[in-house]
Amino acid sequence: MTSESEKAKLQEAAALLQHARTAVAFTGAGISVPSGIPDFRSPGGLWTKYDPFEVASAHALDHNPRKVWEFMLETVDLLGRSQPNPGHLALADLETNSRLSGVITQNIDNLHQRAGSRLVVEYHGNFQRFYCHGCLRECPEQEVMDHCSRSIPVYCPSCGGLVRPDVVFFGEAIPAQAHQHSLELIQAADVLIIVGTSGEVAPANVLPRQVKLSGGKIIEVNLGQTHYADITDIRFDASAEQVLPQLAAMVLE
């Protein structure tokens, strides 16, 4: 049951969204945990089993592509078993009803799109897309998976270069288009919903501060302490799957 104080916060947050000129959501791993995808850094996450430098870095791509592909296949399997949860669906409902302009996500799991969100900026890429590291040819997912059933790593049939997922590995820059699109949304936003991200990962963690510097309001839905305490206006210390459906219902009532 929602307490009176939490209900009051929900009503306050709903009012901000109802009167916002441009509201944007900024999401991280926490929103996908209820979908069965552990935060990579948390207990049970992939970084407790793998050293990210050895399996998810530019150096690893060049020096140990087979180990990279072993890690990628486990990740693809994990993401393939996941489904959008009520938090994803609530954000999609807000967008469908013109109360949310879009989502900037640090996640690579494709769950926002599967939930029905249309404008999703993938700041760190998408694990269901692949391309050749050499000639940059796009490689269809089914073609890549068929090759994996025979051998790994996967090489490009056109140039022989290494095929890789379209995600940002450690040591790589954020794609210019994703960064620019994020900045455009952030600069237009007068309300930002931060969901499931503690603000540890740069340069994504700077984006919410731009909204605050421009006079916008910050709604935060996060479990535990984060690096956004100094800029948050309304904070819910609870899971996204619990808060977002209640918030969306109030906004759309």
Asked whether the beta carbons of 223 and 239 are under 8 A apart, the reply is yes
Tokens for 144, please give them: 């890549």
* Interstrand relation of 102-105 and 23-27 (parallel, antiparallel or unpaired): parallel
One-letter amino acid identity for 101? S
CA distances from 235 to 26, 212, 245 (A): 14, 14, 16
Q: What are phi and psi of 217, to 5 degrees?
A: -105, 145
Tokens for 29, please give them: 């791993």
- Can you point out the beta strands (E) in the chain? 23-27, 102-105, 120-122, 125-132, 138-139, 163-167, 191-195, 217-221, 234-236
Select which of 19, 59, 63, 124 is catalytic: 124
Return all residues near 163 (Cβ < 8 A) that are at least 6 apart: 130, 131, 132, 133, 139, 144, 147, 153, 154, 155, 156
Please indicate whether residue 63 is annotated as part of the active site: no
Q: Which residue has the tokens 């269901």?
A: 128
Q: How many CB atoms lie within 10 A of CB 45?
A: 15
Q: Print the SS3 string covering 133-191.
A: CCCCCEECHHHHHHHHCCCCCCECCCCCCEEEEEECCECCCCCHHHHHHHHHHHHHCCE
Length of the chain: 253
| Catalytic residue numbers, as ranges | 124
